[in-house]
Amino acid sequence: MKMPFLLFLLMASTLLPFEPLAADKKLPKLVLQITVDQLRGDLPTRYADRLGDGGFRYLIDHGIHYTNAHYQHANTETIVGHASLATGATPASHGMVANVWYDHGLQRLVYNIEDPDHQLLGANAGVNTSTEIDPTQRVAKVTGRSPNAILVSTFSDELAVHFGGKSKIFGVSVKDRGAVSLAGHAGKAFWFSKTAGEFVTSDYYYQDYPDWVTAWNRGSSVKAFAGTQWKLLHDQSTYLFGDSDDRSWETNFPGYGRTFPHAYGSRDDKYFTTRLTLGPAGDRLTLEFARELVIREQIGQHVVPDYLAISFSSTDYIGHLFGASSLEAEDNILQLDRTLSDLFAFIDEVVGLDNTLIVLSADHGGPETPGYLNSLGIRNARYFDTDNIDRTPAMTRLKKQFGISDELITMYFHPYFYLDREKIREKGLDQAQVEQAVAEEMMKIAGVSMAVSSSALASNRQPDTRLMRSVLNNFNPKRSGDIYMVFEPNVFINDMDGLIVAASHGSPWRYDTHVPIFFAGFGIKGGAALTRPVTPYDIAPTLAARLGLKPPSGSIGEPLIEVTRD
């Protein structure tokens, strides 16, 4: 029996991934994309009983909350996640395989958005301490910044293309990579320089600072934190971790300490601007600069939609220093909630929340500290030392087999090991065979879950497992290292730019891949919490579909029907 054609059409329409955009469909005045660095998927609701009305509560009660969103790439670092949010692509396509990778042409490590052709504006702009790499690793301190290393288009690029360059597009963050990636190739980006104590940019975007930026930097926003402290919002006894303020595994950053209150220090203290980023002050500065930008650039006041990306970084720094389950992390979520509330209230006043399509997510999740897990009886959590791998008995035997007396492994820079290719060539050895032999020996080391060579990944004959797919999604033949290392769950490298920290993300395990996704505002019928599996790669194509744009060029995500339909 044939199905009636009208019934077929009605049934088929319910299966469409998104509804076609009608020619007269209303568009938002502003797309506001918020990224919270290291906001693991459970954190927005972990302290729900103490959230205010206008921040996370607004998103929960009036938005769509996807609670089961996971990245599908292995290296869950900052630039990798931000670029994935911007492009809807995996690092295999967008090219941001790590915060830092080795460039064989330049014969040195490179920072993800470095660009010597586009220098920072201003004599004092400098390079953030968080993006300087250990000089012993043969890295040139390239101060220039641009998005040119991102290999595919971003949502913001497609917005610029679709509306003939008339949309105003900006990215703002404490971190340069958080601002540059989401602003894309067609937008403009500002980030906080710890060296200058100001928000800066490069000559990729401007030849001179706009007057309002110069005025803001000369104002009192940064200076106002001098001599102040990060204090708890509420009585300490009301916190879940109120009795856990001083724990031995937490990082004791100079002058900041492990216990409340945490002093930001005086203006002439060399660590003053760094400490600002280690607490809620960094997010407040980001918010204040973003508000000034919205006013001065008249964001959301045009015929075509504008785009503003704000990446809040404090959660990440606090997670590294103190861990996700700490008094500092708990208070920071409540402080961030207030920051979001103030942001939404401001946007409502200037643009209108009904005219603003809001999306909030994270670049990656985050682990618990080994110390905290050990205190609960979880004994397999620990730190891993990569420095001595080349001198293990197995590696010593392997070097003897290959006739190599010096170090075979030249360096480890997360998540890749790099072999001495020149020695391998001098000995007439096959690179792929050496990589495979080294990977097999690494697999025997306690704490290592997987070691896979780039030659093996390029062959595309690996087992089809979730873990292997995530490593393949991270593989770019021009940028990936020689051997990808995956440590066992709850085993970490605890070095961040030379600072020994309490916890480090960057794994393919679920605590690092899990992030929240919220959509709210323009046209969203809210109050829904959805548990079906989605990915952060869905965000960029969802925004594109909602505005009637073509998706970014490398996007693999699917438009989320709850957002794209009216």
Cα–Cα dist 179/195, whole Å: 17
Cα–Cα dist 329/324, whole Å: 6
> Nearest-CA neighbor of 179 among 195, 191, 167?
191
Cα–Cα dist 125/118, whole Å: 13
Q: Is 197 helix (H, G, I), strand (E, B) or coil?
A: coil
Percent of the chain's residues with pLDDT above 90: 85
Residue labelled with tokens 């856990």: 244
Whole-number pLDDT of residue 167: 98
Tokens of 30: 């502003």
Cα–Cα dist 18/545, whole Å: 7
Residue labelled with tokens 């954190």: 43
Judge residue 207's burial from the number of C-beta atoms within 10 Å of its C-beta, 0-12 exposed, 13-18 middle, 19 or more buried.
Answer: exposed
Whole-number pLDDT of residue 505: 97
Whole-number pLDDT of residue 82: 98
Which fold does the domain 30-374+509-564 belong to in CATH? Alkaline Phosphatase, subunit A (3.40.720)
Whole-number pLDDT of residue 127: 56
DSSP string, 480-542: --SEEEEEPTTEE--EETTEE-S-----SSHHHHEEEEEEEETT----EEE-S-B-GGGHHHH
pLDDT in tens, the chain (566 residues): 344 433 333 333 333 343 444 445 699 999 999 999 999 999 999 999 999 999 999 999 999 999 999 999 999 999 999 999 999 999 999 999 999 999 999 999 999 999 999 999 986 666 554 433 333 334 457 889 999 999 999 999 999 999 999 999 999 999 999 999 999 999 999 999 999 999 999 999 999 999 999 999 999 999 999 999 999 999 999 999 999 999 999 999 999 999 999 999 999 999 999 999 999 999 999 999 999 999 999 999 999 999 999 999 999 999 999 999 999 999 999 999 999 999 999 999 999 999 999 999 999 999 999 999 999 999 999 999 888 888 888 888 999 999 998 889 999 999 999 999 999 999 999 999 999 999 999 999 999 999 999 999 999 788 999 999 999 999 999 999 999 999 999 999 888 777 899 999 999 999 999 999 999 999 898 888 999 999 999 999 999 999 999 999 999 999 999 999 86
User: Quick check: bond before 477 cis, omega within 30?
Assistant: no
Whole-number pLDDT of residue 329: 98
Cα–Cα dist 352/520, whole Å: 12
Tokens of 298: 């008249």
Handedness of CA 122, 128, 134, 139 (dihedral sign): negative
DSSP symbol at 55: S
Give this prediction's pTM.
Answer: 0.93
Residue type, 50: R
DSSP symbol at 326: S
Whole-number pLDDT of residue 123: 65
Handedness of CA 280, 285, 290, 291 (dihedral sign): positive
Longest dimension (CA), the chain: 83
* Helix (H), strand (E), coil (C) string for 418-469: EECHHHHHHCCCCHHHHHHHHHHHHCCCCCEEEEEEHHHHHHCCCCCCHHHH
Whole-number pLDDT of residue 164: 98
Phi, psi of 250 (to 5 degrees): -75, 150
Which CATH class name applies to 385-446+448-487? alpha beta
Going from N- to C-terminal start, the domains of the chain cover 30-374+509-564, 385-446+448-487
DSSP symbol at 232: -
**Cα angle: 468, vertex 504, 274; to 5 degrees:** 140
8 A C-beta contact, residue 407 and residue 390: yes
Cα–Cα dist 167/298, whole Å: 11
> Nearest-CA neighbor of 281 among 242, 318, 235?
318
30-374+509-564 against 385-446+448-487: fold identical: no
